């Protein structure tokens, strides 16, 4: 379809990083990440597939720019409640939501840092919760990294799985010989029923342990018996 003179004038906008990210997110949401090829983005933008190279260095940069927007959106409207534990849970769930919807884009951040003019908000808020909890200063960084790894990691894994593959895994566990795999056989039917519930269970484990460590510190002062974590 060639643009008729005048008629599609309003549509014939100039290409920009913003528009490219728009197109990327639109295609992924409608047809999945594997559909978001550069040729497809070109078609979506009504432009030659290679035209985007005038605005981004490579495809990775598109994904990183998309991630920045997604993380900024995930932090939007967040209101702290005053309970660091409730806040940390809420922030983790927001991050998980973003990663579940766009695992490909957000995975690109790992290798291309510093591409987040807006997306650092979430991380700052999470660390704020940890400091507010009263965790020892030198545990804040590893605690942040552990939570970050848990949230990102489980989201990546959960995003790759589907109801079908989970069912296949259960079947595989169920059909195992009971004598060689007694524990896996016993748990087989209950496993992978609800990834969100499992995520929350593990998150609560971490939060409970963090609370215990912070409380133990405030009660015992300097001398902490279980320091060897």
Partner DNA sequence: ACCTGAACACCGTTCAAGT
What are the C-alpha distances in Å from 55 to residues 19, 27, 144? 10, 19, 34
CA distance 112 to 33: 19
Taking the least distance from each CB to DNA, the nearer of 39 and 224 is 39
| 205 interface partner picked from a copy of itself, DNA, none, CB below 5 to 8 A per type | a copy of itself
Run of H or E residues at 147: helix 137-160
Quick check: 210 binds a copy of itself (CB under 8 A)? yes
Quick check: 106 binds a copy of itself (CB under 8 A)? no
Quick check: 161 binds a copy of itself (CB under 8 A)? yes
Binding site for DNA (CB under 7 A): 14-15, 36-40, 42, 47-51, 53-55, 58-60
- 3-state DSSP assignment of residue 113: coil
Task: Show the site string, 170-209: x = touches a copy of itself by CB under 8 A, - = not.
Answer: -xxx--x----xxxx-xx--xxxx-x-xxxxxxxxxx-xx
In contact, 46 and 22? CB cutoff 8 Å: no
DSSP state of 188: G
Q: Cβ of residue 218: shortest distance to DNA, in angstroms?
A: 51
Q: Cβ of residue 148: shortest distance to a copy of itself, in angstroms?
A: 8
Q: What is the DSSP string of 56-71?
A: -SSHHHHHHHHHHHHH
CA distance 81 to 87: 6
Run of H or E residues at 84: helix 84-101
List residues near a copy of itself by CB under 8 A: 107, 110-111, 113-114, 116, 120-121, 123-125, 127-128, 131, 138-147, 149-150, 152-158, 160-161, 165, 168-169, 171-173, 176, 181-184, 186-187, 190-193, 195, 197-206, 208-210, 212-213, 229
């Amino acid at each position: 379809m060639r643009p008729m003179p005048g008629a599609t004038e309003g549509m014939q906008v100039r290409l920009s990083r913003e528009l490219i990210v728009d197109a990327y997110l639109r295609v992924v949401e409608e047809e999945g990440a594997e559909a978001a090829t550069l040729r497809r983005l070109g078609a979506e933008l009504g432009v030659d597939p290679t035209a985007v190279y005038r605005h981004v260095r490579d495809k990775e940069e598109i994904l990183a720019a998309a991630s920045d927007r997604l993380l900024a959106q995930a932090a939007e409207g967040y209101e702290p409640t005053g309970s660091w534990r409730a806040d940390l849970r809420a922030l983790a769930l927001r991050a998980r939501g973003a990663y579940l919807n766009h695992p490909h884009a957000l995975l690109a951040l790992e290798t291309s840092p510093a591409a987040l003019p807006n997306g650092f908000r979430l991380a700052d808020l999470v660390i704020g919760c940890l400091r507010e909890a009263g965790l020892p200063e030198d545990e804040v960084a590893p605690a942040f990294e552990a939570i970050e790894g848990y949230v990102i990691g489980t989201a990546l894994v959960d995003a790759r799985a589907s109801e079908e593959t989970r069912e296949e895994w259960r079947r595989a566990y169920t059909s195992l010989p009971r004598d060689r795999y007694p524990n896996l056989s016993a748990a087989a039917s209950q496993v992978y029923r609800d990834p969100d519930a499992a995520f929350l269970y593990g998150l609560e484990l971490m939060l409970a342990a963090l609370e215990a460590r912070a409380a133990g510190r405030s009660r015992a002062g300097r001398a902490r018996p279980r320091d060897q974590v």
